[in-house]
Amino acid sequence: MIDSIFHYEFLQNAFASGLIIGFIAPLLGVFIVVRRLSLIADALSHVTLAGIAGSLYLSQSVGALALLNPLYLGIVASVTGSLFIERLRRLYKHYEELAIPIIMSAGLGFGAIFISLAEGFSSDLFSYLFGSVSAVSRQDLWIIIGIALIVIVFLSLFFKELFVLSFDEEYAKASGLPAKWIHVLFMIVTALVIAGSMRIVGILLVSSLMTLPVAAAMRISKSFKQAILLSVIFGELSVIVGLVSAFYLDLAPGGTIVVTSIIILLLTIFSKKIGSKGAVSG
Residues engaged in binding another protein (CB under 8 A): 34, 36, 157-158, 160-161, 163-164, 166-178, 217-218, 221-227
**Rg, C-alpha atoms of the chain:** 19
- Report the residue number, 31 or 130, with the smaller CB distance to another protein: 31
Q: Smallest gap, in angstroms, from Cβ of residue 211 to another protein?
A: 14
Give me the phi and psi of 223, to 5 degrees please: -140, 170
Please give the C-alpha separations between residue 43 and each of 98, 103, 171, 207, 235, in angstroms, as whole numbers. 11, 6, 28, 9, 21
What is the signed CA dihedral for 228, 256, 139, 53, rounded to 10 degrees? -110
Q: Which is nearer to another protein, 9 or 168 (CB)?
A: 168
Nearest distance in Å: CB 159, another protein: 9
Nearer to another protein among residue 37 and residue 144 (C-beta): 37
Query: In this structure, are residues 87 and 187 in contact, taking their beta carbons and an 8 Å threshold?
Result: no
Nearer to another protein, 121 or 224 (CB): 224
Q: Cβ closer to another protein: 226 or 271?
A: 226
Q: Which residues contact 15 (CB under 8 A, 6 or more apart)?
A: 5, 243
Nearest distance in Å: CB 37, another protein: 13
Instruction: Report the nearest approach of another protein to the CB of residue 172 (Å).
Output: 8
Phi-psi region of 221 (alpha: psi -120 to 50; beta: other; left: phi over 0): beta
**Shortest Å distance, C-beta 65 to another protein:** 40
Closest to 18 (Cα-Cα) out of 150, 145, 155: 145
Please give the Cα distance from 32 to 40 (Å, whole number).
9
CA 227 → CA 25, 31, 215, distances in Å?
14, 10, 9
CA 72 to chain centre: 16
Of 41, 27, 119, the closest CA to residue 78 belongs to 41
Give the start-end residues of each E strand in 220-269. none
CB of 20 to another protein, least distance (A): 24
CB 197 → another protein: shortest distance, Å?
23
Q: Closest CB to another protein among 53 and 172?
A: 172
* Min CB(226)–another protein separation in Å: 7
Q: Which is nearer to another protein, 220 or 241 (CB)?
A: 220
Q: Please say which residue, 55 or 166, places its beta carbon nearer to another protein.
A: 166
